[in-house]
Amino acid sequence: MIGANGLRRTNLRRDLTAGLTTAVMLIPQAMAYAMLAGLPPIVGLYASTLPLVVYALIGSSRELAVGPVAMVSLLVATALGPMAEAGSADYVAYAIVLSLLVGLLQTAMGLLRAGFLVNFLSHPVVSGFTSAAALIIGFSQLQHLLGVDIPRSHHVHTIVAEAIGRVSDVQGHTLAIGLASIVSLVVMKRFVPRWPRALVVVVGSTVMVWGLGLRERGVAIVGDVPAGLPSLSLPRFDLGTMEALLPTAIIISLVGFMESISVAKAFARRAHYEVDPNRELLGLGLANLAAAVFRGYPVTGGFSRTAVNAQAGARSGVAGLVTAGVVVVTLLVFTDLFFYLPKAVLAAVIMTAVFGLVDVAEVKHLWKADRTDLALLVLTFAATLGLGIEAGIGIGVGASMLWFVVRTTRPHYAVLGRLPGTVHYRNVERFEQAQPVPGILMLRIDASFYYGNVAFLKQTLSRHLGQDSTIRDVILDASGVNRLDSSAASALAQIREDLQSRGIGLYLASVKGPVRDAMQRSGLAPALGPAARAMSVHDAVELAIGSRRTTTLAA
């Protein structure tokens, strides 16, 4: 975002430095990711111009570096592979339409303030999906690294099997360049992290291929890269094309936003400011619309470039404008320099970037912290590797939502006991000193009451009442209940009638305002009377004991 803060002289100097530094990293990455998407490398550069300008003017993050990223590129290749031959005119046209759809979806979501939708992508699901996709992306580059023709596939085992079967056809010079590039990138990241690693490797390998005549020895190169800027236009498309691309557009919209907002928030916390999720959606949406009219393909914010942008001193969206300007100058003047760039080097750039996305640390953390979330991560990882990108994330999201439903239909509850000498009541399983009050069953339900868990409440009460025939009163601690729907209110009324018929009283304690309102509207509160108005569990206990005494005296 560009504001008054971003136009101060000190900040402007930092933004210029950051913009130049990020551009040096973006140019080879954009070409590499376009190749990953099955597009001509020049399309990656087109996607790194106008979209950056639009996001810089609208987005709320000061550091986020927008452009082509590996994950989105893989999703593009997954969607377009069955529709057209990679790199063909139709393929490029479909990629532009996909960018248009993503732009429309994200813009609409931003205007409707629908940033909350990304919450359906839980972190374990995203981690499992990202790790599997990183492997798929990395292994998809084997054909360029080995210099052999391997059929496109999104199954790692298929790619590896094909590569092993073609090992006798490996192009030695290509493999040597690719491995040398990988080693150079890794070593520079370890010992000289501030260097523009990708640019150094790109320049060095290009000069080597040109100087040693390696093109004539079978090393595949990028070749002619069209100079100049594309005209602002949209390809012709029909409703059938849009319908076929819509599922992938939805996934890219959500996954791209998830990646972008996670990165933006991480760097905003370091700089002590807030990003607006809905404004981010709007900025990304309009950036993707700009990519569509500038003959690019879908873009989003990337972690590695954002880290470089922030480290280089970015203070506002001016850095993004500078980056875009450098790319424009490159398109106008320097495209001839990419002719001898070996494709194996672009593959090396991709592989070293994405293999770092395999999140082993998260697996170790979840093994200790939450085995259920670990199971979701592993399921998503396995489904993505075995069934493909779209099926993998679909299964992960579906399993995550199913588990959420299961947890809410069988919520945690506690049987309460009184701490000696106090008016406090705690879970008897966690506090050994907590003592049950004779004749009273006290339950705390740690979830909202709704139609999905009323049966669980009935079963829980029935089980505990069946285990203790001396119970004369039931107290429900509602301090953890935030909502009560009509089905749950009806169920509570039925529970009250059933208990009453057995001579057992029902009391509700610590009921929150919205729940009291729902009880009043349903008629449950008037029916319960004072039994629904206890301010604490202890008040409910006193009320129950007092009512029991009154009944005994009356008898």
Q: What is the DSSP string of 311-325?
A: HTT--STHHHHHHHH
101 token code pair: 């759809």
* Predicted TM-score (pTM) of this structure: 0.75
d(CA 280, CA 275): 8
Helix 123-140 and helix 70-80, axial crossing angle in degrees, nearest 10: 70
Which H or E element spans position 243?
A: helix 239-271
* pLDDT, block means (10 residues), the chain with 555 residues: 54 84 86 92 96 95 92 90 92 95 96 79 82 85 90 82 90 94 92 83 92 92 88 82 93 89 81 89 96 96 82 83 94 91 89 81 90 92 85 86 86 94 93 93 91 90 91 94 91 92 93 92 89 91 84 53
Please tell me whether residue 153 adopts helix, strand or coil conformation: coil
d(CA 218, CA 292): 35
Contact 42, 226 (CB under 8 A): yes
DSSP state of 427: E
Which H or E element spans position 67?
A: strand 66-67
Helices (H), 330-467: 343-354, 360-369, 371-387, 389-409, 454-467
Alpha carbon 458 to chain centroid distance? Answer: 38
DSSP state of 332: I
Alpha carbons within 13 A on the beta-carbon side of 24? 18
Amino acid at 157: H
Q: What is the pLDDT of residue 205?
A: 93
d(CA 302, CA 395): 25
327 token code pair: 């790319």
Q: What is the pLDDT of residue 8?
A: 59
Residue count of the chain: 555
Please tell me whether residue 15 adopts helix, strand or coil conformation: helix
Q: What is the pLDDT of residue 138?
A: 86
Amino acid at 467: Q
Q: What is the pLDDT of residue 547?
A: 81
d(CA 12, CA 555): 87
Amino acid at 311: Q
CA angle 301, 304, 307 (to 5 degrees): 90
In DSSP terms, 477 is beta-bridged to 444, 509
184 token code pair: 């150079």
Q: Count other Cβ atoms within 10 Å, centred on residue 298.
A: 32
Please tell me whether residue 84 adopts helix, strand or coil conformation: coil
d(CA 269, CA 267): 5
Q: What is the pLDDT of residue 274?
A: 87
Please tell me whether residue 33 adopts helix, strand or coil conformation: helix
CA distances from 337 to 204, 209, 227 (A): 12, 12, 11
d(CA 173, CA 158): 25
Q: What is the pLDDT of residue 184?
A: 94
Which residues touch 468 (CB under 8 Å, ≥6 apart)?
A: 441
CA angle 226, 349, 131 (to 5 degrees): 125
Q: What is the pLDDT of residue 246?
A: 95
Contact 380, 125 (CB under 8 A): yes
Q: What is the pLDDT of residue 555?
A: 47
User: Strands 425-427, 413-418: parallel, antiparallel or unpaired by DSSP?
Assistant: antiparallel
d(CA 15, CA 24): 14
Phi/psi at 304 (5° precision): -65, -45
In DSSP terms, 509 is beta-bridged to 477, 534
Q: Count other Cβ atoms within 10 Å, centred on residue 304.
A: 18
